[in-house]
């Protein structure tokens, strides 16, 4: 199992007991350091597990391949979701963690959404910031009651409003306990995302 720790990653142990660990999943071009400050801000004292995406696009790390902007290599999405689930299982064994809540931005949110749809037991829940539909053919996952916060941008040039709405509908059909908020922002992270994620995570 420990051989599955195939991602370069950072792990910060919890210093407040009882909080679910966060799995931090960066956007395109990020790395294992990018979302550490966000994780510490939204869930102070929680354990943080932050892998670097294993796929390179023009030298920029990602969690799966895409064919064009907004067009995903869906076979690779499925393969990388399995790869990430194996990493999570190995990291849980090494660091003695319960199932984490994913906190993903952009490409990281997309792979987290794919994990929810393909291997739902890998996560205890998810905060998906600027996520879009990861797979055109919706899997038949059972997300019964799994908490998910989806934060979309009303002026996002990358994720069309209809796409975010479809992801919300898909997750709801699978049974997720979904909260979907549309903020008056573009694709980038905002103070509103931090505030909403912090309040939502405080209830976990």
Catalytically annotated residues: 106, 156, 187
The three state secondary structure string of the chain is: CHHHCCCCEEEECCCCCCCCCEEEECCCCCCCCCCHHHHHHHCCCCCEEEECCCEEECCEEECCCEEECCEECHHHHHHHHHHHHHHHHHHHHHHCCCCCEEEEECHHHHHHHHHHHHCHHHCCEEEEECCCCCCCCCCCCCCCCCEEEEEEECCCCCCCHHHHHHHHHHHHHCCCEEEEEEECCCCCCCHHHHHHHHHHHCCC
Question: Residue 143 in contact with residue 171, Cβ under 8 Å?
Answer: yes
């Amino acid at each position: 199992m420990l051989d599955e720790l195939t991602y370069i990653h950072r792990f910060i142990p919890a210093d407040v007991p009882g909080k679910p660990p966060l799995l931090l999943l960066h956007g395109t071009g990020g790395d294992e350091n990018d979302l550490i400050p966000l994780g510490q801000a939204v869930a102070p004292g929680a354990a943080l597990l932050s892998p670097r995406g294993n796929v390179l696009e023009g030298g920029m790390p990602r969690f799966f391949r895409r064919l064009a902007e907004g067009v995903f290599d869906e076979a690779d999405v499925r393969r990388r979701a399995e790869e990430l689930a194996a990493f999570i299982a190995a990291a849980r064994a090494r660091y003695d963690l319960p199932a984490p809540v994913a906190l993903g931005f952009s490409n990281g949110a997309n792979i987290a959404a794919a994990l929810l749809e393909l291997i739902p037991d890998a996560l205890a829940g998810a905060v998906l910031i600027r996520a879009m539909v990861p797979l055109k053919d919706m899997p038949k996952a059972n997300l019964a009651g799994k908490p998910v916060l989806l934060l979309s941008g009303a002026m996002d040039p990358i994720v069309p409003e209809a796409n975010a709405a479809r992801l919300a509908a898909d997750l709801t059909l699978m049974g997720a306990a979904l909260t979907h908020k549309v903020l008056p922002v573009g694709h980038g992270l905002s103070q509103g995302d931090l505030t909403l994620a912090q309040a939502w995570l405080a209830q976990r």
